[in-house]
Amino acid sequence: DKKLAVLLSGRGSNFVAIADNIARGRLSGCRINVVISDKMSAGGLDEARQRGIDTLVFPRKNYDTKQAWEGAMIAAIEDRSIDYIILAGFMRILGDAFVESFPQRILNIHPSLLPSFIGLDAQRQALEYGVRYSGCTVHFVTSDLDAGPIIVQKVVPVHSDDDEESLSRRILEQEHIAYSEAIDLIVNRGFIIQGRRVELQ
Ligand code: GAR
């Protein structure tokens, strides 16, 4: 089985969805080896402990430089021979040193239809713009923010009475489906990257 490291900063519902799909045999060919967080208080760490999955915490403030912080995470991931790094609500931007250490090995989920609404508060950006459809995107991470090759997208309607919470909830439901689909494509079906496209090998 391929070894996954999940990186998260918050409640970890995407992590839980992936872990449950693996536990129930709906996602095969991979195991979550470790959950890594930059936040000691992340709810996702408790979810990992409850499932008997190793956890590691790398608070940014414990390191003098971004380089040292990333270096510690790179070393921990290399030590464990991780195959794929799964960003699931990891709310810090990873620099070139990190991204270039794991080429085509880092996936991220973003709560919009990329390339629209990159960065923070994507759901609020979508509401403020007034789009009628939004959704989520699972993509490879490159050194350009939220701009790597797209693996899976799911679309949801935006309702006229939506607020940030109701739209986020509708998108999150699709995130929980999309991430496992994307991992399956990459881990089990031999997708490779060519330019911005992702092709079957
Ligand atoms: C998810 O909606 C994810 O798409 C988003 O954070 C949330 C994490 O939820 N990520 C980003 O906005 C990345 N820029 P979770 O902790 O319950 O998985």
Nearest CA to ligand 1 atom 16: 12
CB 10 less than 6 A from any atom of ligand 1? yes
CB 38 less than 6 A from any atom of ligand 1? no
CB 14 less than 6 A from any atom of ligand 1? yes
- ipTM for the predicted complex comes to 0.99
For residue 11, which atom of ligand 1 is closest to its CA?
16
Nearest CA to ligand 1 atom 8: 89
Which residues lie below 8 Å from residue 174, measured CB to CB, with a gap of 6+?
135, 136, 154, 155, 156
Nearest CA to ligand 1 atom 10: 89
**Residue whose token pair is 């701009």:** 147
Which helix (DSSP H) or strand (DSSP E) does residue 115 occupy?
none
Query: 10 Å Cβ neighbour count for 111?
Result: 23
Distance CA 177, CA 116 (A): 21
Backbone angles phi, psi at 37, to 5 degrees: -135, 155
Q: 89: CA distance to ligand 1 center in Å?
A: 4
Query: Amino acid identity of 79?
Result: D
Per-residue pLDDT of the chain (201 residues; tens, 9 = 90+): 999 999 999 999 999 999 999 999 999 999 999 999 999 999 999 999 999 999 999 999 999 999 999 999 999 999 999 999 999 999 999 999 999 999 989 999 999 999 999 999 999 999 999 999 999 999 999 999 999 999 999 999 999 999 999 999 999 999 999 999 999 999 998 776 665 666 655
pTM of the full structure = 0.95
Q: 172: CA distance to ligand 1 center in Å?
A: 8
User: What residues act catalytically?
Assistant: 110
Query: Amino acid identity of 181?
Result: E
CB 178 less than 6 A from any atom of ligand 1? no
Q: 68: CA distance to ligand 1 center in Å?
A: 25
Q: Tell me the β-bridge partners of 155.
A: 135
The verdict on whether residue 94 carries a ligand-binding annotation is: yes
Q: 90: CA distance to ligand 1 center in Å?
A: 7
- Please, is 63 exposed, middle or buried when counting C-beta atoms within 10 Å of its C-beta (0-12, 13-18, 19+)? middle
CB 111 less than 6 A from any atom of ligand 1? yes
